Each structure stands twice: as structure tokens, then as C-alpha cells.
Structure 1
Amino acid sequence: MSLFRSAATVSSFTLFSRITGLIRDILIAGSFGAGPLTDAFWVAFRIPNLLRRLFAEGAFSQAFVPILGQARNTRSPEEVRVLLDRVALLLTFSLMLVTLIGIVAAPWVVSAMASGLRSAARQTEFEAAVWMTRLMFPYIVCMSLVALASGVLNTWSRFAVPAFTPVLLNVSMIGASLFLVPYFEVPIYALAAGVMIGGVAQLLVQWAALARLGVIPRYSPRLREAWADSLVQRILRQMLPAILGVSVAQLSLLINTNIATWLTPGSVTWLSFADRLMEFPTALLGVALGTVLLPSLSAAHARQDHAGYSALLDWGLRLVLLLGLPAALGLAMLADGLVATLFNYGAFSGHDVAQTRVAVMAYSAGLIGLLAIKILAPGFYAKQDIRTPVRIAIFVLVVTQLLNLVLVPLFAHAGLALSIGLGASINALCLVVLLVRRRLYTPASGWTRFLLRALPALAALAALLWYADHRLDWIALGAHPGHRAAWLAGVVAASGAVYFSMLLLCGFRLQDFTRRGK
């Protein structure tokens, strides 16, 4: 199957997910603004998300997918089923235990995550964050099993369902903000309930897809037997360094969230909405490409196809630059229009727009790095080398916090965003240097010509964005929200038309970026 088409499928569903996510955040911004209780919700929501990325989507997928792919190629179907059964049993048991501990320890967890909320003046926020954390903690059990299902479906080249199911979380939260608010004494608690409904919905849809493939896990009480399985032990051994690597990235997020709670109230919300805009290109490009690349890289490694392995990485990096550079320019130069059009309603003021805008601009400096990591890290994971990305992540964590010491006093919450962006760029640079040094990746010929042909398109795009941003007053256009949205849509459409037309004039063709997966 075409890797480009697979990536396009994942990107299409991911785009739909991000659009519903934006609708969700628009409703949150308009209904709750960027006040203290909104900060409390984002803190509480970040805690189960942190653990989800730590145990499920991050470390688990990195360890599970390559070994599952290898088992599918070398073991009988029944042996693969037994592996899935045992992994599901251990994953469910361990995450239920973590959830019970988290519910009991919620006050201490929130204190560690957002110590700024412990001040006497913010006690109401702290109590709200604790309550919502307890309500949302079981979400990680649902999402861990969703990660298991996604790993299986992606290994079977069924990319659509895993890409679609995040939409269900957004739809649930939208429904909760519209219909459940009257049923809660504190209105924002409805969002926490929506998160749990969305988690259950995602699990049901993914497991229905597993049932259609005939590989839905079969639970049994044989926990000790599952633990002793040799393939399960290999996954666990791979997970340990992967957990360390993902925990380093999440520790950086935890530290930054903690710092943000000590800044001006609203800082956590401004950063959350800026991060939402960053997630658009990172999910559409980085996650989509990384999702389809990892199984293909694992297959190339199993065949000892070193040339094919390198060519896959080269293909991914070229796509990242060709599509990521205009996205970074767009975020930086159109930040005011994007934030104002999407969030400047109801309780979300012009001041909130300005503060979110600078965070978006700061984040955009690291977009190429964030995207490149999604391509380069699987180059190590597919060879079951998780330690190298971990060592790089630890180094980058130290660098990021040193940058915080300099940037936060200068730029407040935008300094936190800028340090993350610069850290991601350093991470990507380290990954590519090591891949080249270890001869896992050899850049194909034509890179200089590739970049020179892209420059005129980028220059034309930058000129158009500069002109549009200086001619339009996005806050004033808020008097006519429909007109403002139409202007933004027009600028985005014109930008895309100019950029891709210039690429065609410079000799780029779609078939240059199509690739067959094996």
C-alpha cells in the first residue's frame, strides 16, 4: 500500500479530529475564558494525559509495535493472539492499579504538578483541580487499551480507525459543555465528565475494529503466566528505557506547567490554546508520518534492507520540510488572526488573544524540530534501540530548563513555549546526527537542489502573510465574526494556492513524494 496514501488517510482523519478539537476549545474559551478555574481544568486534564503518554501511547507503542510486527511475521496466528491476550491482561491490571493510587493521591499529584495553586489565594482552583483529577484518572485505563488496539490495527495496516477515534473525545467534551453544564454545581466540572465519556467511546470503537479482525483480547486470570511470557518480557524490557525517554519529555511539560502556575493567572490556559494550534501541524504531518513509517521501518529492518530503511527516513524528512516550513511561517506570521478568529469570543478578551499570540509565535520556532522528531525517533525504535533517544531526551531536558532560566524572566509564559521549541530543534539535530554517524541514514542525493527549489515558494508565502497581517485588524474584525472568519479562510486559502503553485513552477510534482509500503 502507498505510504503517501496511508499518511494522507491518517492526516485526513487527524485533521477532522483537530477541527473538532478547535471547536471544543472555542466553546471552552467563550464559556469559561482564561480564568482561574479554566487553569484548574487544564492542570487536571494534563495529569491523566501525562500518564497516558507515559504508559500508553508513548512507551508502550514504541516497545509493542516492532515486537508485534516481528511476531506476526515469524509466529503462528494463535501465538500472536496469545501475545495480545497476555499484553492486554498485564496492561489493564497495571493501569487499574495506577488509577486507584492516583485517585487516592490526587491532592499530592496536583501539588507536584501545579504548586502555584497551593497558595491561599488560589485554594478554590486547587480544590477544583483535585476533584477533576479524580474524576478523569480512569481515563488512562481506557486510553491504554486504546493504545493497544491502535498498535494492533496499525500493524495490520488499518490506519483509519485509530486516526478517527480521537474525534470522539472532542465530540464528548463539546456535548458536555453544551448539555451537561446545568447539572454541575461548578460548571467546568462538566468538561471532566465529558473526558471520561469520550475515553469510553474511543475504547468501544477501537475494540469493535479488533473484533472485526478477530483479534480482540481474551482475558483470563493467568497473570503469572502472562508475566512469564518471553515476548511479553521483551516488550517490558523495551518499555523500561522507553518510559524513561517519554517521562523525560513529560517531566519537561510538568516543570513548565508548574512554572506557569506561578505566573499571571491565565498563563496555563494561554499556553494550552497555543499548544492546540501547534498540534494541528504536528498531528497532521509528524504523527501521521511517524504512524505509517514505524511499521514500514520495522519491516525493512527485518528484511535487512538497509537502503530501503534509509530511503524511508529520507522520504519522511523531505515531506516534513516541504510541508512543515510553510506551517511554521503561517503560525508565526498569522498568529494574531488565528487566535482572534478561533478564540476571541465571550469571556476570552483581546488581552487573552495577545498573550496567546506570543505563545504561538514562540512555539512556531520549534515546529520543524517537533515534526522531525516524529520521523527520526522511529528510525531508532524500529531497530528496538530506545536507549539512544532516551539519552538525547535527558540532555535536551537539561538544556530546556537552562533556557527557562534565561527566557522566562524575559518573556514570561512565551519564554516557556520558546524553550520547548528550541529544545525540540536540538533534539531533532542530535537524532539526525547520530542516525548518519551510525550509517542508519544516508541522505539521498539532491538535497541542495531540493532546498533551493523550495526557497522561492517560501519567500512568496512570507510576503503574502506579511501583507495580510499588516492590512487586517483582527481584533476590530471581531465586531463581525463571520467577516473575520471569511478573511482568515481567504488568507489561508490564498497562502496555500501561492505556496503550492510556486512549488509546481519550481519543478515539484506529487509523484516525487509517493512511496510504496511493504
Structure 2
Amino acid sequence: MSTGTKVAKAAGIIMVAMVLSRIIGYVRDMVILARFGQNKFTDAYNAAFSIPDFLYYLLVGGALSSAFIPVFSSYIATQKEEDGWRVASTIFNIVIILMLVGITIGFIFAPALIYILVPGFSPDNLDLTVKMTRIMFLQTFFMALNGISMGILNSYQHFLAPAVGSVMYNLGIIVVGLLLAPSFGIVGFAIGVVVGAALNFAVQLPALLKLGLRYRPIMDLSHPGVKKIGTLILPVLIGLSVTHFNLFVNQNLGSSLSEGMITALRNAQRIMQLPIGIFAIAIAVAVFPTLTGHAARGEKEEFKKTMSLGVRTIIFVTLPAAVGLIALKTPVVRLLFQQGKFTVEDTRATAYALLFYSIGLFAYSAIQLLNRVFYSLQDTRTPVTVGIGTILVNIALNFLLIKPLGHGGLALAYSIAGIVNLLGLLLILRQKIGGIDGKRILASFTKTLLVSLVMGLIAYLTARFIEMLVGTTTKFGQLLQVGGGVSVGVLVFAVLVLLLKMEEGELAKSLFLRRFQKRR
């Protein structure tokens, strides 16, 4: 099976599960917003959830897997499985100890941590946020286990169980939250986060056992592989923290705005993250072991081809998604959330933030892959260096834009910082590997942007026409408006891609179809 076919199959598996996970994640948000609205209670929940969500991103999709996979995969690729499992066992034991210590410290210092995060909250809301934060800290233990197990499974090209685990995570939050909400209020959903994290790990355990789990209760700190992970993981933590640190800064400043603005920012950011979670992360996770294998075997040309294919495919898929979200921002938010205690004003506030978040969607999508490109080369310093610069840019832009644009200014600052991060990574990567197929990537970006703008305009006009024709007072009318706008937009995009004979169209097509093709 060729490299492209392996990547497409892996990405296809992840995408299917990601779509399910994102749908269930939307249902989770919809249930919470319909029941509680966009106010101080959901602000408190989102502020408390931001810390475990940050740790989930780092440990499951980030630092542990990004530092662990290159080392573990190199042992697998060079037929040294015994050494690989010795390293995995040691890291597993170290993480368990560190998480237990970290959870204890988190419990003790939660009030100070939350005050730094949202200083603009009232005393009552701070207390509620602290309570939920302490509950959600328990999930970090399971998130650490998830990170290691996912790293092992992905190194063996096994993607299904980790992907299904993310579905169970959101499902656990919904079910437990609904059961406990009558008695515990919004705190019930905080308890659901812990249960969801435990289910995530439980789903992966059978796959590990089937693989031939060779866990040992050892602490071989002198092993070269363990030392290598130790040198990689701290810079990776810092590098992957950039995205969420910028969100923390936004949350800090947003706590001083009117009630519900933190929730509006989070709702908009979650919508913007949908294409990233479904497409960009799926492609990046699928490509990562392949990149690591090429790097370990010194296959430079294959490495460049795989990297270029990944970047172009991500841009081709997420750039039109961003333009589509901008064109249909209000209809999308209205369809997803406007019900129960979620009002028309809440829709406007969320759509306003979504407009500015969508500008940086393509950049944060490509960063998912580019960070992993550097990690596959066992270079963790570059993402850290670029990341620190991005944090400074984001903070400066936050203070510059919050007054004229309100919470929309915080979203715009986040987007601009992401674009700066992307450009910095590309420039340094070009110097590091002697070319990145830059002309091809730029040509692809330009064509995709032009086609997307045409698509966005037609999708917007279609949505307006449907609104005048059938109205949007009912969910059916709202669904018809969004569905019609999206359908016409996708059709226009596909036709223009075919007329321009864009190669990326075939790449994206294979990404979806090869998953379902039989092996020859």
C-alpha cells in the first residue's frame, strides 16, 4: 500500500469518528445553552472547562503523543519493539505519579488560578468556577493515560480506538450532565467531564491488549529513549500551549466585558474549531507517523512530498470552510443554538465573534500539521520560539482591538496571531529542510481563496433568498436556509475546482474515498 493510500485511509478513519465526536460535542453545547442560556452560569462552566480542555489538547492531541510518537515509532520502524515498550512503560509510570501530584496541587491552588484566569467575575461566580474546576481536575489523570495509549496505538497505525474514544468523551458528558442537572445544576456537566474522560481511556484499553500490551512496572530513567522524550516534551508543551494561552488571555480580558461574552467567544471558537477538528487534526494525526518514519529512515524527498501534500490538502478543505462560516455566520449560530434560553441577542454576539475567528481558521488548521512536521524531525525548539513571538503579538493586539471591536477584537487578535505563527513556521521550515514546495503551496492557496470567495458570495445570496422565501422562525426554516446555502456553496466550489483542474481536488477526493475502497 502506497504512502498516500495509507495516509488517506488513516485520515478517513479519524474523520468519520471526528465527525461523530463533533456532532455529539455540538449536542452537548446545545443542551447546556438551551437549559442555562448564555450568561454567568455558562461563563463559569466555560472558564472552568477551559483548564481541562487545555490539558486534553496537550496530553491527548499534543505534548505526550507528539514527544512520545517520534521516539516510540523510531523503535518500531527499526525493529526494536522491546526497547520501545520499555520506554512506554517508564513514561506511563512517570506520568501517573506526576498527574497525582498535579491534581493535588490543582485542588489546593484552584482559587488563585481561577482568579488569574477570570478576574472580572463576581465573587459568587468565582466560587462556582472554582468548584467546577476542582471537579474537572480529576479528568487530567485519565487524559494523561489517553495521551500515552493514543501514542502507542498511532505508532502501530491503529487509529480507530483513539478516535472512538473522543466520541465517548462527549457522550459521557451529555448523559451524566443530563442525569445530574436537576440536582446539581450546571455542576452536573462538570462531573460528566470526568466520566467522559474515563470512558475515553476505557475504549482504548481493549485495542492495547489486542495489540499485545507489554506494560512493566519499571522506572528506567537511564534509558536513551526516556531521556530523549524528556528533552523533547518540555519544549513541545510550551509550543502547543500557545494556542490555548492566547485563548486564556482572551478569557482574562473578556471577563471584564458584559455578562455572557466569554460564552459567546467560546461558542464561536468551537464552531470555528469544527473544520479543524474534523479535517485538519485528522490529516495531521494521520500524516504524523508517516512523517516520523520518513525522518527516521532519512527519506528526505518522501518527507517533503508528504508534508506538502498534507499542507495543501488542509488549506484546500479549511479555507472554503472559513469563507462559508463568514458568509453564513448568523444563520449557522441561529440554527445551532437559538432555542430555550439562548436569545436573538446571544446569536448576534456569537456570530460577531465567529466572523473574526474564521479569518484565522486556515492558519490554525495548517499549524496542526506544521508543528508535527518539526516534532517528526525531533526539533521542538522552533515551535516554541515561534510560539512565544505569537503570544506577544496576540497580547498586543488584544489591548489594541478590544476597545474598538469589543469581544470581536479579541477574536480578531487570535486570528492574526495564528497567521503570524503559520508564516513563521513555514519560513523556518524552508531553511531547515531546503525547500517546502512553496510555489505549489502558494498557488494552491491563491486558487482556493479565489474559488472560496465566489462560493461564499453565492452561498450568502442563496441563504438570503431562502430566508425571504420561507422565513427563519422555525427550526425547519433555519435548517433549510443553512442547508441550502451550504449545498449551493459546495456545488459551486466543486464546479469551479473541476473547471480550474485543481490537483488538490483529487487529493481531497482520495482522502474521503480511499477509506472505503477495498485493498487490491
TM-score (norm 1): 0.93
Structure 1 residues 350-400: Cα deviation after superposition (integer angstroms, max 9, x where no partner): 000000001100001101111111122222111100001100000111011
Q: 1:257 to 1:4 in 2, by over 3 A?
A: same
Alignment partner of 1:79 is 2:77: no
* Residue identity matched to 2:142: C
Whole-Å separation in 1 of the counterparts to 2:331 and 2:312: 29
Tell me if structure 1 keeps the 8 A contact 2:176–2:195.
no
Q: Percent identity?
A: 28
Equivalent residue, structure 2, for 1:288: 282
Instruction: For residue 492 of structure 1, report the CA deviation from its aligned partner.
Output: 1.4
Equivalent residue, structure 1, for 2:396: 402
Instruction: For residue 89 of structure 1, report the CA deviation from its aligned partner.
Output: 0.5
Instruction: For residue 86 of structure 1, report the CA deviation from its aligned partner.
Output: 1.0
Tell me if structure 2 keeps the 8 A contact 1:69–1:155.
yes
* Residue identity matched to 1:282: I
Equivalent residue, structure 2, for 1:272: 266
Q: 1:387 to 1:456 in 2, by over 3 A?
A: closer
Tell me if structure 2 keeps the 8 A contact 1:103–1:137.
yes
Alignment partner of 1:300 is 2:294: yes
Equivalent residue, structure 2, for 1:144: 144
Alignment partner of 1:59 is 2:63: yes
Tell me if structure 2 keeps the 8 A contact 1:99–1:138.
yes
**Equivalent position SS for 1:228:** coil
The range that moved more, 4-13 or 127-136, is: 4-13
Tell me if structure 1 keeps the 8 A contact 2:10–2:286.
yes
Equivalent residue, structure 2, for 1:209: 207
Equivalent residue, structure 2, for 1:494: 488
Q: Give the aligned CA root-mean-square deviation in angstroms.
A: 2.2
Alignment partner of 1:243 is 2:234: no
Equivalent residue, structure 2, for 1:328: 322
Whole-Å separation in 2 of the counterparts to 1:453 and 1:53: 32
* Residue identity matched to 1:404: N
* Residue identity matched to 1:442: I
Tell me if structure 2 keeps the 8 A contact 1:90–1:226.
no
Whole-Å separation in 1 of the counterparts to 2:267 and 2:124: 22
Instruction: Name which of 243, 251, 276 aligns with 1:257.
Output: 251
Equivalent residue, structure 1, for 2:194: 196
Whole-Å separation in 2 of the counterparts to 1:493 and 1:217: 49
Structure 1 residues 288-333: Cα deviation after superposition (integer angstroms, max 9, x where no partner): 1110111111111112111111111111121122112210101111
Equivalent residue, structure 2, for 1:339: 333
Instruction: For residue 512 of structure 1, report the CA deviation from its aligned partner.
Output: 4.6
Whole-Å separation in 2 of the counterparts to 1:444 and 1:104: 50
Tell me if structure 2 keeps the 8 A contact 1:310–1:440.
no
Alignment of 1:71-150 (within 5 A): 71-117=75-121, 122-150=122-150
Instruction: For residue 29 of structure 1, report the CA deviation from its aligned partner.
Output: 1.1
* Residue identity matched to 1:133: T
Tell me if structure 1 keeps the 8 A contact 2:55–2:143.
no
Alignment of 1:408-447 (within 5 A): 408-443=402-437, 446=440
**Equivalent position SS for 1:479:** coil
Alignment partner of 1:23 is 2:27: yes
Equivalent residue, structure 1, for 2:377: 383
Alignment partner of 1:42 is 2:46: yes
* Count of residue pairs brought into register by the alignment: 506
**Equivalent position SS for 1:494:** helix
Alignment partner of 1:470 is 2:464: yes
Instruction: For residue 455 of structure 1, report the CA deviation from its aligned partner.
Output: 5.9
* Residue identity matched to 2:319: L
Tell me if structure 1 keeps the 8 A contact 2:106–2:134.
yes
Q: 1:107 to 1:459 in 2, by over 3 A?
A: closer
**Equivalent position SS for 1:57:** coil
Q: 1:451 to 1:419 in 2, by over 3 A?
A: closer
Instruction: For residue 180 of structure 1, report the CA deviation from its aligned partner.
Output: 1.9
The range that moved more, 74-83 or 380-389, is: 74-83
What stretches of structure 1 of length at least 5 have no aligned partner?
Answer: none
Instruction: For residue 103 of structure 1, report the CA deviation from its aligned partner.
Output: 1.2
Structure 1 residues 202-232: Cα deviation after superposition (integer angstroms, max 9, x where no partner): 11111221111112634x2x4xx33333211
The range that moved more, 461-470 or 144-153, is: 461-470
Tell me if structure 1 keeps the 8 A contact 2:320–2:452.
yes
Q: 1:260 to 1:287 in 2, by over 3 A?
A: same
Q: 1:462 to 1:16 in 2, by over 3 A?
A: same
* Residue identity matched to 1:180: L
The range that moved more, 49-58 or 342-351, is: 49-58
Instruction: For residue 279 of structure 1, report the CA deviation from its aligned partner.
Output: 1.3
What stretches of structure 2 of length at least 5 have no aligned partner?
Answer: 516-520
Equivalent residue, structure 2, for 1:370: 364
Q: 1:291 to 1:469 in 2, by over 3 A?
A: same
Instruction: For residue 149 of structure 1, report the CA deviation from its aligned partner.
Output: 0.9
Equivalent residue, structure 1, for 2:518: none
Equivalent residue, structure 2, for 1:160: 160
Tell me if structure 1 keeps the 8 A contact 2:463–2:481.
no
Instruction: For residue 14 of structure 1, report the CA deviation from its aligned partner.
Output: 0.6
Whole-Å separation in 2 of the counterparts to 1:242 and 1:136: 24
TM-score (norm 2): 0.92
Q: 1:192 to 1:445 in 2, by over 3 A?
A: closer
Instruction: For residue 448 of structure 1, report the CA deviation from its aligned partner.
Output: 6.7
Q: 1:42 to 1:151 in 2, by over 3 A?
A: same
Instruction: For residue 164 of structure 1, report the CA deviation from its aligned partner.
Output: 2.0
Equivalent residue, structure 2, for 1:173: 173
Q: 1:271 to 1:444 in 2, by over 3 A?
A: closer
Q: 1:269 to 1:506 in 2, by over 3 A?
A: same
Q: 1:395 to 1:374 in 2, by over 3 A?
A: same
Tell me if structure 1 keeps the 8 A contact 2:164–2:203.
no
Whole-Å separation in 1 of the counterparts to 2:443 and 2:307: 18
Instruction: For residue 483 of structure 1, report the CA deviation from its aligned partner.
Output: 2.3
